[in-house]
A and B are shown apart, each in its own frame.
Chain A
Amino acid sequence: MTFLQHIFCTTIGRKFLMAVTGIVLIGFVVAHLVGNLQVFESPDRLNGYAHFLSSLGPVLWIERAGLLLCTVIHIWAAVVLTLESRRARGEQHDRTWIQATLASRYMRSTGFVVLAFIVYHLAQFTLGAAQAATYKENLPRYTMAGDYHVLGLTAVREGTVVPDVYSMVILGFQNTAVAVFYIVAVGLLALHLLHGAESLFQTLGWRNRRWSRGLRAVVTIACAAYFIGNLAIPGAVIAGILNPLPAAAASLRK
């Protein structure tokens, strides 16, 4: 067997792929959250950040391609492993769980919801296919009130006219159904990560009894923090703490 066969054609190899792609995807969702939390600072920050990202050009596309590849591999491996495992299993009349965690038992369901969520999320905020009226391209442009810095360097200059992502996000979440779906979805994503993030240590062979309780505690806290962070944005919108910029709000009333 070649290396690729070991990795792609064995159960442990595929689990390894799920773990590695899982790490990348966890890295992405965490970074994404941290970026989005700039919404609480000022419209300037979030809009500058969004403009900076979209101005990356090829780098952005490489990143997107990488994420897509990881997602595809992650899902492919999950599907193949699940089908194989189903084949391996016979019908059992009476099944009791002994110690499997709740999160681990619903990985498939939470995975599906997260996938549906990602599709909608991209349609809403990246492609403008859903809730087109509040899509950034359909809102009045925003003029940067100050410089936006990345790693101490100026990334977007004061006065640059950029899409108003800030208002798009807030207007999008003013639709309660969307906000609730979003909250439920990130809740399930946090649950998915609760098993996934801990499990990847086992798959990569880095877990043992000595510190498994510590690992579980750290992962639980991180997942809770992730959920709260994600809850904060639609929560603040529904609570009226975050409001769209007047220009954007006005353009929608027309």
Chain B
Amino acid sequence: MAQLDSRIPPGPLADKWRNHLASMRLVNPANKRKYEVIVVGAGLAGASAAATLAELGYRVKSFVFHDSPRRAHSIAAQGGINAAKNFQNDGDSVHRLFYDTVKGGDYRSREANVQQLAEVSVNIIDQCVALGVPFAREYGGLLANRSFGGAQVSRTFYARGQTGQQLLLGAYSSLSRMIGSGGVQLFTQSEMLDLVVVDGHAKGIIVRDLVTGAITRHAADAVILATGGYGNVFNLSTYARGSNATAIWRAYRRGACFANPCYTQIHPTCIPVTGDYQSKLTLMSESLRNDGRIWVPKKAEDRRKAPGSIPEADRDYYLERMYPAFGNLCPRDIASRAAKRVCDEGRGVGESGLGVYLDFAEAIGRLGENAVRERYGNLFDIYHEITNENAYHVPMRIFPAVHYTMGGLWVDYNLMSNVPGLFVLGEANFSDHGANRLGASALMQGLADGYFVIPNTIGDYLAGQKPSARPSTDSAEFRQAEDNVRGITSRLLGIKGREPVSHFHKRLGHILWQYCGMARNKAGLEKALQEIPALREEFWSNVLVPGSGDTLNQSLERAGRVADFLELGELLCRDALVREESCGGHFREEHEYPDGEGKRDDVNMAHVAAWEFQGDGKVPLRNVEPLAYEFVKMSVRNYK
């Protein structure tokens, strides 16, 4: 049974972080260079953490599986980053950002962590501006803001539709500076394949060089994982193809608890799948729902007709019908589920029948094509680029897609997992978004963790570790971990089955999407829990991984990741099955209000489920961390 001590500092909510800063143990400046810290991943959280720790004087090793730290998938975030700056003088405050995030997370996040996030959000913008991030400005030269879902204030800072890119390049520039000055040692195309735990503490990792195949051991005084989310378990998602769960999954297998894996976010406005070859889904900003009307034909037999030929009377503007108050602007999860429902009824449009129309004809009639072009021109261009369709003349086709995972490795207030010395930042941890993440909050969390939380909290851990007392990489634990990695690699290469890796990934994706996607139910999840282990068994006996382990071998890389997804997928379904309620991104059909809104069970389910690995073939242990809401009152979200 894992010890889950959330280490929430005592005292009033607003003072927690400040008090904690003042009470944490410190590492003497002259001693900092004696500590080595491994940072895996160089997205917003990883790059900012590596750079900042090196600035403090720690010796940092940064590992990325990409060919450059700038490729991390944070780069693809479009919308913006929230911060409680109140530059608009519209009543924003740290407390309001805290409250919106807790409410947006459907009361399944940890209050104190969210407060910490909201408090440091203010410093993030200062830091990014000083780094030269070209945020949008007003004519007077001051920072511009836009509003985003789930908030009634304008607190989102943005850089066109490429906010993630600009913030990542800012963090990357700091990281580059520290690499240039020798504070950070960078290992590109290096994939972490195991965590080394010595005497209960995380003290190193095993890494495979993706170009040469060399497997190496790296010891450190602490290990930081900032490796992003696991949405690619669904195969098709808005994630980059390379995004994977291997680092956190292998840490899970070494004892780190995996919290709330079933909390996955599905974004309602993505471009639908066109065929079996599809590798990736592209997000269209949900701002489109401000002016677009969503509909499908009323009669299933009309679904193949040209949309323009379907008369108004035969169209079903289902969101406007079901949610008259919010209409097309209802929250992400509700819009996604409604789309699934109409498609399940056979009314979905497009080649695959998995799509709904997002129609701008009414907006163009009302505002004129030019006004629509001004507002959404770039999105219409992206749509045209991908589909070769002109959305000014024919309605867009959209469908929901997996977009973010709120679950992740369990961490305490200091972002340390239940394995001492193992810290988890950004999307890879579970801490801040509860069961649902608000728009523009992912970037905020990544940078908060990397720039401002971990540089402070890691000292508290390291101060308890003797300087220069890292275990030798020759120790038994390192040897065992390396053998484990070599074993997995050679096993994968040795199967020589009859199906390529992609085949299994697709099938796993289908199972999860079908039974553990937008809407889940007991029967489906139980079915998935039978199908996934069977698929996993088939994978390990029938996968075909060509080539060798001594060179760049993309099939081998993917095979290892899919092998982990095949385990993680099962845990996801298991978590979804036990969580007998609907909350945020987790929707159980058994638990809904008559109007379709999810029904939480605050009496029995107001807790974090932290799963603990018990060994292959064994049911993992479900640890529980109760969520005690001291400062916020839980209530029912209502969007009617």
A/B contact in complex, CB under 8 angstroms:
no
- Which B residues form the contact surface with A (CB < 8 A)? none
